[in-house]
């Protein structure tokens, strides 16, 4: 059992490492800042739909877990050999474990897509500001003549 968990973990980690830099694979650029506005908006739309799918997978996994936990599971004469060997309790446990795995997988994918959406939005706001946008950010004001440093903020209005 430990070997199966370790192998599943390694496959899971290698999948996310191979899917790490999505903009390199999709658009063949080395940095997300090199994408055009259309490419960024297309990626944002795709990431939002993938976020929705990961939520659906998590909800379905919760349903599978609850079905394995509370619904009766009957084994009859036409059941497969695996079902007959494991029995009712074994099959219910398999349903619960697979449901929990779906919930965790959907949650991890959701976190990945949420961070991707945030990064895409920040690049769009940084390089493709719209008319009438306002940007407020903290800064440090340095007076080199008196050697005085004080906090402040910058206010940028794009028109």
DSSP 8-state code for residue 130: P
Give the pair of three-digit tokens for residue 51: 């976020």
pLDDT confidence tier of residue 2, bands split at 50, 70 and 90? low
* Rounded Cα gap, residues 76 and 78, in angstroms: 6
Average pLDDT of the segment spanning 135-154 = 84
Q: Give the helix/strand (H/E) hosting 12.
A: helix 2-18
Q: Are 130 and 88 in contact (CB under 8 A)?
A: no
Mean pLDDT highest for which of 20-29, 103-112, 120-129? Answer: 103-112
| Mean pLDDT of the chain, nearest integer | 83
Mean pLDDT value across residues 28-35: 84
Mean pLDDT of 7-22: 64
pTM strictly above 0.85: no
At residue 108, does pLDDT exceed 60?
yes
Q: CA-to-CA distance for 60 and 38, rounded, in angstroms? A: 33
Predicted local distance difference test score (pLDDT) of residue 52:
95
C-alpha distances out from residue 128 to 11, 113, 122, 158, Å: 38, 21, 10, 11
**Phi/psi-derived region of residue 157, left when phi > 0, alpha when psi is between -120 and 50, beta in every other case:** beta
Rounded Cα distance between 118 and 133, Å, is 18
Find the mean pLDDT for residues 7-25: 67
pLDDT given for residue 117 in this prediction: 93
Lowest mean pLDDT, pick from 32-36, 82-86, 102-106, 107-111: 82-86
* CB neighbour class for 107 (10 Å; exposed up to 12, middle 13-18, buried from 19): middle
Beta-ladder partners of 139: 152
- Alpha-carbon distance of 139 to 42, in angstroms, equals 33
Please compute, for residue 57, the number of CA atoms within 13 A of its CA located in the half-sphere on the CB side.
17
């Amino acid at each position: 059992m430990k070997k199966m968990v370790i192998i599943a973990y390694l496959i899971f980690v290698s999948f996310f490492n191979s899917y790490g830099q999505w903009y390199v694979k999709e658009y063949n650029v080395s940095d997300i800042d090199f994408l055009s506005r259309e490419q960024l908006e297309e990626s944002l739309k795709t990431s939002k739909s993938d976020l929705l799918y990961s939520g659906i997978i998590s909800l379905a996994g919760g349903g599978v877990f609850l079905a394995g936990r509370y619904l009766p599971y009957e084994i009859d004469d036409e059941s497969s050999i695996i079902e007959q060997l494991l029995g009712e309790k074994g099959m219910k446990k398999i349903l619960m474990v697979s449901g929990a795995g779906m919930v965790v997988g959907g949650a991890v994918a959701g976190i990945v897509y949420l961070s991707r959406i945030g990064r895409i939005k920040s690049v769009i706001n940084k390089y493709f500001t719209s008319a009438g946008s306002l940007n407020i950010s903290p800064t440090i004001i340095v007076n080199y003549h008196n050697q005085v440093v004080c906090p402040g903020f910058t206010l940028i209005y794009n028109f």
